[in-house]
Chain A
Amino acid sequence: DTAVSQTPKYLVTQMGNDKSIKCEQNLGHDTMYWYKQDSKKFLKIMFSYNNKELIINETVPNRFSPKSPDKAHLNLHINSLELGDSAVYFCASSLELAGLPGNEQFFGPGTRLTVL
């Protein structure tokens, strides 16, 4: 079974549309994350949720809204998509907040979003 899964794997859409990316982890972790990897391959954290509560909220446009219906799921909703939103989005999870031993992050396979 896949530890961290994301759907869809590819998403192609027009500017101005609203889309969602779903993430699920079956590891029993309390913390989940969304990262964005742009065309230059820099991987930047966007959000972190711990026990369904928002912990990390980087400087991300409010068009991006994470939603965590339960500990195993963290979905990313994006409104009014722009060309600059094109990137690969990775979901990750860890036991608790990453940075201390035992809290290594497990990443999903990524969702490649292309905005036309």
Chain B
Amino acid sequence: DAKTTQPTSMDCAEGRAANLPCNHSTISGNEYVYWYRQIHSQGPQYIIHGLKNNETNEMASLIITEDRKSSTLILPHATLRDTAVYYCIVGDLMMDSSYKLIFGSGTRLLVRP
């Protein structure tokens, strides 16, 4: 089972910031938070990841709370092309110390014109 919970759907206006929340209250100290998105009929696309500190790249910013039990993905200026399902993922530590990413149901973001 996925170790994260996200709202089923959200919407925002084009040009405005989209803030997508994620809860991961059972996260372990060395587990990273990953965000992927899936635009309709395409394969998932990596967006960003983080451990403790806030992160920013050309696509988005990731804000992780101090207790690491939740995070928020921020798309600073959403465009219509950002309409997609956004997945927040915490790796599942396996017996051999490797990780497995388990995708939950994600948040369906609709960017309105």
Contact = CB atoms under 8 A, between A and B. Distances in A.
B43 A107 contact: yes
Nearest to A56: B100
A109 B103 contact: no
Given A4-B43, A104-B49, A99 B32 contact: yes
Majority SS at the chain B contact face: strand
A104 B94 CA distance: 17
Contacts of A15: none
A66 interface: no
A101 B49 CA distance: 8
A101 to B, nearest CB: 6
B105 interface: yes
Interface stretch (A39-47, A68-76, A79-87): A39-47
25 contacts: A41-B85, A41-B105, A43-B38, A43-B87, A45-B102, A55-B98, A56-B100, A90-B44, A92-B43, A97-B99, A97-B100, A98-B99, A98-B100, A99-B32, A99-B92, A99-B93, A99-B99, A99-B100, A100-B91, A104-B49, A105-B36, A105-B44, A107-B44, A108-B43, A110-B43
Interface of B: 31-32, 34, 36, 38, 41-46, 49, 85, 87, 91-94, 98-103, 105
